[in-house]
Amino acid sequence: MREAFHDQLDAIFDDLAGMCGQVETAVREASRALMEADPEVAEQVISADAQIDLAREQIEENAFSLLSLQQPVAGDLRTVVAALRMVSELERMGDLSVHVAKIARLRVPDLAVPEEIRAIFVRMAEVAEGMVGRLRTVIAERDAGKARVVGAMDEEMDHLRRQSFAQVLGGNWNHSVEAAVDVALLGRYYERIADHAESVANRVIYVVTGENPALEG
């Protein structure tokens, strides 16, 4: 019975890793739509979000079934509850990618990000995609060491967001208020993607070690 339980639990984490792969694609393609002002790519990201939502529903159904039928305790219960929280965070990362894509689509044929701030957002996109890509491996392998690397990457994203704000608030900003709002929102979306990735990574650490990095220090 316990072997069957752990097989089902492993299957949930496999599904979480697969969902994370979908989110990674959403982040990458939303960033491409943003940097290239490509409305077709933006539409693909927006449409594909339904598949991420469906993945969440399926994983939640499997997790709740496991809770009701197997009634896990101690470490096993901790793992199932962590999985339920992780799936919610992954879905939210997909939603944030949609927000990026919608801003990209709204400004077509123009680019939503002014040229002088473009390099910052290119790097934001790289960091976000890199975090989600690593997170997929972290979930699949339940690797606490790799999870800590994901968490450390969030510091660079925070620094990039501060840089983008400094550009908008600086005396050399000569674009519209609308452009400033776009930049502020986009910075927030990328920052939140990174925050959710760090949170999922921390939950993996908690599952593996019983320690919550969010409470350290």
pLDDT tens digits along 6-15: 788 899 999 9
Give the Å distances, CA to CA, from 130 to 28, 44, 104, 114, 156: 9, 21, 21, 23, 12
pLDDT interval class at 133 (50, 70, 90):
very high
Q: Residue written as tokens 């674009």?
A: 175
Look up the domain containing 149 and give its range: 2-215
pLDDT at 169 over 70: yes
Q: What is the pTM of this model?
A: 0.94
Mean pLDDT, rounded, of the chain: 93
Q: Is the model more confident about 45 or about 77?
A: 45
Give the Å distances, CA to CA, from 72 to 6, 16, 28, 66, 113: 10, 19, 37, 8, 49
Nearest to 157 by CA among 126, 111, 202: 126
Cα separation, 131 vs 6, whole angstroms: 27
Backbone dihedral region of 120: left (phi > 0), alpha (psi from -120 to 50 degrees) or beta? alpha
User: What CATH number is associated with residue 9?
Assistant: 1.20.58.220
pLDDT interval class at 75 (50, 70, 90):
confident
